[in-house]
Amino acid sequence: MEVWIKIIVILLYVIYEGFSFWLAMLNYRNRNRPMPKSVQDVYDEDQYQNWKKYYMEHFKLSFVFSAIGFFVLLIMLAFNLFVYFVSLAKSITNNVMLETVIVIGFYYFITYIISIFKDYIATFKIEEKYGFNKMTKSLFIIDKIKALVLTVIFGGGAIYAIIGLFISVGDWFLLVAWIAVTVIFVFVNMIYTKWIVPIFNKLKPLEDSSLKTKIFAFAKSVGYEVGKISVMNASKRSTKLNAFFSGFSKTARVVLYDTLIEKMDEEEVVAVLAHEIGHNKRKHIVFNIFQTVLLLSVYIFGLMIFLRQDIFSLAFGLSEINYGFNIIVYVVVLSIVMLFLNLPLSFLSRKFEYQADEFASKNYSDLHMINALIKLSRENFSNLNPHPLYVKFYYTHPPLYQRIAAIKS
């Protein structure tokens, strides 16, 4: 039985990686298909040829490092190398919760090192080559250190707490863990802009200006109360554009990238925010919270099953159950489940984007909404012609040509 469990887990992992690569290859090959008419003029010919080279380089980079990560984990599973991680963790501590954190931490550190090399090449070889990167190497290092520290504190703390709950509350684990994780999720969403974003970027209030006046005037016209509007110094890392809402209802904060304000006219910026307000007015934020809370209950239920089964540890050469290793196996199995669960979730997300576009178009301006979407795509070097199947699995936003067609209809 243990041998079959090992074979099934490894086979699921291979299927997941193989299917993901096949989808990526479909999307990559689709770049040479004729462009939809509505977006043919987004890039001029030189820009379009540049985009093809940019996309090709990113695809090759992702393929190489995905292959590295795949073979690292495959070899570790096939040859029972996690036994050494567990032995080392046990030599450090007798505390089961801490031992779990250390085992997962060892594997995470390996993947983190791989990701650093990938991100470095993507940032300083590709993004810089095409004029997007504004990050210095010292800032890159500082960001990675900050991210590692936050992961160790919050990720390690979460794992420690979850195992502690599992050991202490027994059959009540599903309910107690679900409540705890849900509270943490809501709390993080409330403090994200105020406490977490400033760790990496500076935020300053949007100065009194005609743009601010237009934003508040539009919000008032649709019966929406805008909270604090902040401008983020995204330009110190990249030239790409974005904006987002954070928080809930009246506590929601608007964050604009300084690059967005710099490269869009005021009407287009208001159209972007009208789209975000549309998400709030259509209750998408509330729906997404309930969806996340529901998914958390499913994740925790699956985790509880894996934490109770010693066969996963025994199948890979361990002498007894190890919670850290079982969590790693759980994530492997969950990956292929989530790949197909993404189909309905991504579909709903794309539907919500259409509805937010419709809200902005009807209540503000369809012309400015379309112009804003075109400028976002052009400045961010977006793929204007993704493969339809890849879109179904991975795209939370519809492709530009479909959004334009929906707005015009």
For residues 149-160, average pLDDT: 94
What's this model's pTM, rounded to 2 decimal places?
Answer: 0.91
- Secondary structure of the chain in HEC code, one letter for each residue: CHHHHHHHHHHHHHHHHHHHHHHHHHHHHHHHCCCCHHHCCCCCHHHHHHHHHHHHHHHHHHHHHHHHHHHHHHHHHHCCCHHHHHHHHHHHCCCHHHHHHHHHHHHHHHHHHHHHHHHHHHHHHHHCCCCCECCCHHHHHHHHHHHHHHHHHHHHHHHHHHHHHHHHHHHHHHHHHHHHHHHHHHHHHHHHHHHHHHHHCCEEECCCCHHHHHHHHHHHHCCCCCCCEEEECHHHCECCCCEEEECCHHHCEEEEEHHHHHHCCHHHHHHHHHHHHHHHHCCHHHHHHHHHHHHHHHHHHHHHHHHHCCHHHHHCCCCCCCHHHHHHHHHHHHHHHHHHHHHHHHHHHHHHHHHHHHHHHHHCCHHHHHHHHHHHHHHCCCCCCCCHHHHHHHCCCCCHHHHHHHHHC
Average pLDDT, the chain: 93
Say if 204 falls within a structural domain: no
Say if 379 falls within a structural domain: no
Say if 283 falls within a structural domain: no
Per-residue pLDDT at 190: 81
pLDDT tens digits for range 347-366: 999 999 999 999 999 999 99
pLDDT beyond 60 at 94: yes
Q: Which of 65-69, 193-197, 233-237, 297-301 has the weakest average pLDDT?
A: 193-197
pLDDT band for 247, please (50, 70, 90 cuts). Answer: low
Per-residue pLDDT at 228: 83
pLDDT band for 253, please (50, 70, 90 cuts). Answer: confident
Say if 320 falls within a structural domain: yes
For residues 139-158, average pLDDT: 95
Say if 82 falls within a structural domain: yes
Say if 363 falls within a structural domain: no
For residues 45-68, average pLDDT: 94
Say if 68 falls within a structural domain: yes
pLDDT band for 192, please (50, 70, 90 cuts). Answer: confident
Per-residue pLDDT at 251: 58
For residues 232-254, average pLDDT: 82
pLDDT band for 186, please (50, 70, 90 cuts). Answer: confident
* Count of domains for the chain: 1
pLDDT beyond 80 at 139: yes
pLDDT band for 225, please (50, 70, 90 cuts). Answer: confident
For residues 78-88, average pLDDT: 96
pLDDT beyond 80 at 327: yes
Residue-number span of the structural domain to which 31 is assigned? 2-199+303-349
For residues 321-338, average pLDDT: 95
Q: Which of 31-35, 297-301, 326-330 has the weakest average pLDDT?
A: 31-35
pLDDT beyond 80 at 257: yes
- Best-predicted range by mean pLDDT among 34-48, 111-125, 173-187? 111-125
For residues 144-165, average pLDDT: 95
Say if 70 falls within a structural domain: yes
Per-residue pLDDT at 263: 95
